[in-house]
Amino acid sequence: MILGIGTDLCNIERIERTLDRFGDRFRNRVFTETEQRKAERRADTPGTYAKRWAAKEACSKALGTGLRMGIAWKDMAVTNLRTGQPVMHVTGWAAERLKEMTPPGHTATIHVTLTDDHPWAQAFVVIEALPAADADGAG
């Protein structure tokens, strides 16, 4: 069952201006060390940050909170599988909210997809709950 859906569209140039103006203060407030390492080694550093910004916004919407109610930017983090597929991880209040919205006997999975076409970066997040037996492959 679908528990939540979120999307966000982010202007890459706005993120680039924010990075130029606030630098590490912005990076450290919003992005995990892993996200920063990924972005800083990419040719399109601002685009990489913008996609992750959009993913965090989309995830907060899918959680039904937006960026309020105690959720922090770094409570949501994007990494990539070896295949390149993005994966959303939640900690802190975001993880608590996910647990709260997941029905008993179910396991929640957060699906995320990212795209960009300069000057835009976009993310979609879908939170799905599967019966625990199906989620671990035993069902």
Average pLDDT of span 70-75: 86
pLDDT mean over 77-82 = 96
Output the six-digit token pair for 74.
């770094």
Higher pLDDT, residue 66 or 79: 79
pLDDT score for 135: 58
Q: Could you tell me what percent of the chain has a pLDDT over 90?
A: 88
Domain boundaries, the chain: 2-135
Beta bridge pairs of residue 120: 11, 117
Average pLDDT, the chain: 93
Contacts of 58 (CB under 8 A, 6+ apart): 6, 7, 8, 112, 123, 124, 125
Q: Assign domain 2-135 to its CATH architecture.
A: Alpha-Beta Complex (3.90)
How do residues 13-45 score in pLDDT, each as one tens digit? 999 999 999 999 999 999 999 999 999 999 999
Mean pLDDT of 111-117: 98
